[in-house]
Amino acid sequence: MTVFLVGAGPGDPGLITVRGLELVRRCEALVYDTLVAEELVAEARQASFAVSRAGMRQEEIDELLVSLGRRGLESVRLKGGDPLLFGRGGEEALALAAAGVPFEIVPGVSALSAVPAAAGIPVTHRGVSAQVTVVSGHSADGSALDYDALARAPGTLVVFMGLRRLGELAAELVAHGRNAATPVAVVSAGTTPEQEVVVATLADIAERAEGLAQPALVVVGDVVSLGLVEGNSSALASDLAAAVARVHRARAA
């Protein structure tokens, strides 16, 4: 038997992969993230054991997965997004490997592109952004982000778990050289019926996004100004697009 580390997708239960849903439906044990849709948990009808990871330390999750594997139960660890993108799936895989428990990683649709797409934002766009930089706003050791490198990085910046540090993030990017007029979008509860999108600039995004609920993804860069964003007022979209056009003209000069 095998432990399957399965990506549940970015929020909408319909965005799990066919392979992932098949495994959830046939598994004997299910360990799931708190942000996994209830509809997906309900699909595990054959599971004799189903538990949320809420309140569990990572070490306890690792031990539980090893224990389930050793008991010979076909087990699914259902994780939000993709297991290996800020999902700690690598840590669980290492724990299983060290214990000699067979496992398989089943990729999922990541919030990295799916959540911006649900808000009408392409993270890459020809002539606008050919590079995507991905960071977590919350580090395990509490260390600060490398704002100098992030401010200088071209293209699109996508920040996971950055809502609580949004004011710091915006201020530090500007302090390290990023234009205060750079477009920013914050997408809360992306791909779900509760999705909310706030569009502003680095200068005022912290104020404009105040009160948004987690989970939220922060997207920084000219792609935000393409006018596709849900809730974008035409005036703001036009202003941002004009600002981007000025930047491009300056670069070409």
101-130: per-residue pLDDT in tens? 999 999 999 999 999 999 999 999 999 999
Q: pLDDT band at 226, cuts 50/70/90?
A: confident
CB 120 within 8 A of CB 142: no
* pLDDT tens digit sequence for 80-92: 999 999 989 999 9
Note the pLDDT of residue 15: 97
What phi and psi values does residue 166 have, to the nearest 5 degrees? -60, -40
**Concatenated DSSP letters of 177-216:** T--TT-EEEEEESTTSTT-EEEEEETTTHHHHTTTPPSSE
- Predicted confidence (pLDDT) per residue in 182-219, tens digit: 999 999 999 999 999 999 999 999 999 999 999 999 99
Please answer whether residues 160 and 86 qualify as being in contact, where contact means their C-beta atoms are separated by less than 8 angstroms: yes
- pLDDT value at position 144? 83
> What is the pLDDT, as a whole number, of residue 138?
78
pLDDT at 147: 96
pLDDT at 230: 46
pLDDT at 227: 60
At residue 48 the predicted structure's pLDDT band, cuts being 50, 70 and 90, is: confident
pLDDT tens figures, 133-179: 999 987 767 778 999 999 999 999 999 999 999 999 999 999 999 99
What's the mean pLDDT in 227-238?
A: 50
Say whether 170 sits in a helix, a strand or coil: helix
pLDDT reported for residue 56: 95
Give the pLDDT of residue 234.
41
Q: Which of 67-76, 97-106, 241-250 has the lowest mean pLDDT?
A: 241-250
At residue 233, the pLDDT reads 46
Q: What tokens appear for 246 in the block?
A: 């000025």
CA–CA distance, 65 with 76 (Å, rounded to integer): 9
**Average pLDDT of the segment spanning 216-225:** 95
Q: At a CB cut-off of 8 Å and minimum separation 6, what does 203 contact?
A: 170, 174, 180, 181
Q: Rounded distance, CA 104 to CA 110, Å?
A: 18
Q: Is 217 helix (H, G, I), strand (E, B) or coil?
A: strand
Residues 6+ apart with CB under 8 A from 120: 226, 228, 229, 230, 232
225 versus 59: the higher-pLDDT residue is 59
CA angle 228, 230, 232 (to 5 degrees): 80
- pLDDT given for residue 246 in this prediction: 59
HEC readout, 98-124: HCCCCEEEECCCCHHHHHHHHCCCCCC
Q: What is the pLDDT of residues 59-70, one digit of tens each?
A: 999 999 999 999
pLDDT for 33 equals 96
- What is the maximum alpha-carbon separation in the chain? 67
